[in-house]
Structure 1
């Protein structure tokens, strides 16, 4: 998928398949319940999704929040023109705006959001890119930044290989997913590369979260 010359129809099918795969393995319902919802203080909040891909995660989060009587005003960004074209082809979802942009672009614009998230982005980044995205997240998030990623395990790799081999054909879901699992962090490994004010947390079903809470880090600083 990262190859700019990859087969476009296959890539578009992969974006469509993300809705199913992420619903099963990405754990965003749990992350919403444990990380986002407890920090809602009003009926409207802003959220930035970095590297939105097919946009399925933000659409799911918007639905979850709506059921709780909360409106999420979401900006979903991806620098890849193919991802931008895909999400722009989808029916509009109230409260979600898609942009072809990077987190650095929004920092330059002076943007600010209550929540900053990403899904399956961290393992794609070099050490320098990871540091830049986390620094951008600190500048962009007023309440919480939470980047959710795969946690590398042999069992998860084996199960993913078998299940996606059966159900997902003519897309990059299986091959790219297996590469992603091999590239992903164990929780201690992620914790070792995070800046001082970030925490790595394990989550069920082979997930790891990188979490930054501005209020918590401010409160922890000595007078």
Structure 2
């Protein structure tokens, strides 16, 4: 296994295999809610970045790209509703398995669609806010450039891509914390692969064009941000 000094761009997560065990995949999607609540820091992003842009009188539109288990867009919509703010959330994912999982638990607060960001650009769609969770580390150079171009075309006000920052401590902590879940989902194995594939701040900054900023957020998070207004 390669070390953590450089990105392991050859690693492929088990859940990305079209032939993977669907029972374990559904279990993985279900566990994402607890995983993201524990480590992804979306509550902090919502409070500091998103909530100040929301209104109780005028709806704000938000697009989540690559929703996976669907817990992040549901959480954002729920926080806004409890704060008395109007937020229209659309979440997209090209994987039909993710879409089937989301459809099994319909949400009145989130519109789930099987689509890519480029599909929405081609359709001329626009959103006030664009976000993603754990998407950047899946992308190679052209894929990252395409995502950023699509995000800039889709967003009127703000883009926030939230992902892992590669670290030996993060790898060790994840390995220990999720060890009891091995064999019950892909969370243990794929989480370690995700860390190996993820960027460090300097690496991500070297790959993004002008107008984007790369910020750290604890624990071991990177926020790739573009403010449009």
TM-score bracket relative to the smaller structure = over 0.9
Residue 160 in 1 paired to residue 161 in 2?
no
Aligned counterparts, 1:107-146, within 5 A: 107-146=121-160
Aligned CA RMSD, in angstroms, stands at 1.1
Contact 1:122 1:149 in 2 (8 A): yes
Misfit runs of 4+, over 3 Å: none
Aligned counterparts, 1:48-59, within 5 A: 48-59=63-74
Residue 27 in 1 paired to residue 76 in 2?
no
Distance in 2 separating the partners of 1:55 and 1:197: 29
Instruction: State the shift of 1:195 in Å.
Output: 1.2
What residue is the counterpart of 2:92 in the other structure?
77
Gaps of 5+ in 1: 216-223
Aligned mate of 1:182, from 179, 196, 209: 196
Distance in 2 separating the partners of 1:119 and 1:164: 19
Q: What TM-score do you get using the length of structure 1 for normalisation?
A: 0.93
Gaps of 5+ in 2: 1-14
Aligned mate of 2:61, from 34, 46, 65: 46
Number of equivalences: 214
Residues 93-151 of structure 1, C-alpha deviations (whole Å, 9 max, x = no match): 22210000000000011000010000000000111011001100000001101000001
> Which secondary structure state, in structure 2, belongs to the residue aligned with residue 192 of structure 1?
helix
> Which secondary structure state, in structure 2, belongs to the residue aligned with residue 197 of structure 1?
coil
What residue is the counterpart of 1:67 in the other structure?
82
What residue is the counterpart of 2:113 in the other structure?
99
What residue is the counterpart of 2:11 in the other structure?
none
Distance in 2 separating the partners of 1:101 and 1:115: 17
Distance in 2 separating the partners of 1:54 and 1:123: 17
Instruction: State the shift of 1:201 in Å.
Output: 0.5
Distance in 2 separating the partners of 1:173 and 1:71: 33
Contact 1:71 1:95 in 2 (8 A): no
Q: What TM-score do you get using the length of structure 2 for normalisation?
A: 0.91
Residues 59-108 of structure 1, C-alpha deviations (whole Å, 9 max, x = no match): 11111111211121111000011111110111x22221000000000001
Contact 2:64 2:89 in 1 (8 A): yes
Instruction: State the shift of 1:38 in Å.
Output: 1.9
Contact 1:74 1:96 in 2 (8 A): yes
